[in-house]
Structure 1
């Protein structure tokens, strides 16, 4: 593990492995960098992989108040630690953070985005407002487990599954990350696609979705691919939102290896 320092003084922890063009991995909600460790291993033969903990997670620090611009600065600090522009893979809400960072002008050479969770229906902003209101109330009351359960309910997990997870050894780790659900909510904004922001991102982008992720993922990918000036969309057959890394790695290798 290594650390770099963001512009507000927050320490950001990352693992570096492999050799070649740099690729940075950005995780989604309720995840530390551990989620991408197997993916980094799969790609390390071809790239220099940097797998980092977003602020407030794992071995990284946190500085309040939270701001999306601070998370963008964190990614910028990881790129600076590489010493050259880097490609970026973003997973779920991490894909949205990566997109925002590219639009902000960070030295990103290419994007690959897995299941960016934009919503395209007219009711999406109302649902997001209600979720943020409930999440904020639970976090303010110190009900971290209920906050995680709310998030899981919002993304469609059945109540029986969530109840079982609350009894599992993994649950304390999820509760430890509960406060960062508010960070991901801020990254998502009103949950709809910011088309003007996407239109400003002119680097090569690959949008990847699972055939079993759900209609929301296919709809989001279609909208984002149309909005980005230079984008391709591929669907991985048999994959859902919890993609198998050995299915994803060849797609990332091909995309990041291209000269343009």
Structure 2
């Protein structure tokens, strides 16, 4: 899904509307930092590459009107801890710990991203590479997902993504949607790869509450 702070606006991972930093302990003992806002069904915001919890911060006040929003820093980033050795399964366990904290079940939103000036996150880029694998959609794993899943891309090219082949994100999204048993494929018209948070929040609201 389009992700990030539009126009590459730096948004620090700081409390919003009086929300305080809190921590949950993952299965391997790693402390995961998160902030919580709003009331209603739980929504967990999962940051993409080069994100310390900041890129989704702009979504929080929009979604918090109808949901309890958990925005967290992935392991090794922001105020979250890190425990070696890394494995993709640890990321899943981190999310599971947050779902338990939310009282479960929860809705998830994940985004890709590109952020300048966040060199501090460079050591954790290997984690994103591990999640990506060989770059092809993990068809067998996707086929095992039984929950309804929205796969969305922006409707217009992003000028910051000029190094990618035309249609890169749409082709990837199409392949992912084809592998998911209950996928809804959507193109968000008028938006680039980094969507306006108000528009994106509206799309998520409709999907989460239908």
Q: Bin the TM-score by the shorter chain.
A: 0.7 to 0.9
Q: Structure 1 residue 224 and structure 2 residue 176: aligned?
A: yes
CA distance in 1 between counterparts of 2:34 and 2:53 reads: 8
CA distance in 2 between counterparts of 1:58 and 1:42 reads: 22
Residue 122 of structure 2 aligns with which residue? 178
CA distance in 2 between counterparts of 1:76 and 1:21 reads: 16
Q: Structure 1 residue 91 and structure 2 residue 35: aligned?
A: no
CA distance in 2 between counterparts of 1:176 and 1:194 reads: 29
CA distance in 2 between counterparts of 1:24 and 1:45 reads: 14
CA distance in 1 between counterparts of 2:37 and 2:133 reads: 33
Q: Secondary structure at the match of 1:15?
A: strand
**Structure 2 length-normalised TM:** 0.83
Q: Secondary structure at the match of 1:30?
A: coil
Residue 199 of structure 2 aligns with which residue? 247
Residue 188 of structure 1 aligns with which residue? 132
The higher relative CO (CA closer than 8 Å, separation ≥ 6) is in: 2
CA distance in 1 between counterparts of 2:193 and 2:128 reads: 17
Larger radius of gyration: 1
CA distance in 2 between counterparts of 1:44 and 1:233 reads: 25
Residue 25 of structure 1 aligns with which residue? 45
Bigger fraction of residues in helix = 1
| Stretches of 4+ aligned residues off by more than 2 angstroms | none
Give the CA deviation at 1:238.
Answer: 2.7
Deviations 1:90-149 (A, max 9, x none): 1028xxxxxxxxxxxxxxxxxxxxxxxxxxxxxxxxxxxxxxxxxxxxxxxxxxxxxxxx
Residue 144 of structure 2 aligns with which residue? 200
Residue 96 of structure 1 aligns with which residue? none
Q: Structure 1 residue 45 and structure 2 residue 65: aligned?
A: yes
CA distance in 2 between counterparts of 1:240 and 1:56 reads: 29
CA distance in 1 between counterparts of 2:194 and 2:204 reads: 16
Q: Structure 1 residue 235 and structure 2 residue 179: aligned?
A: no
RMSD: 1.5
Residue 88 of structure 2 aligns with which residue? 68
Contiguous gaps of at least 5 residues in structure 2: 1-20, 159-165
Contiguous gaps of at least 5 residues in structure 1: 94-151, 153-164
Q: How many residues align?
A: 182
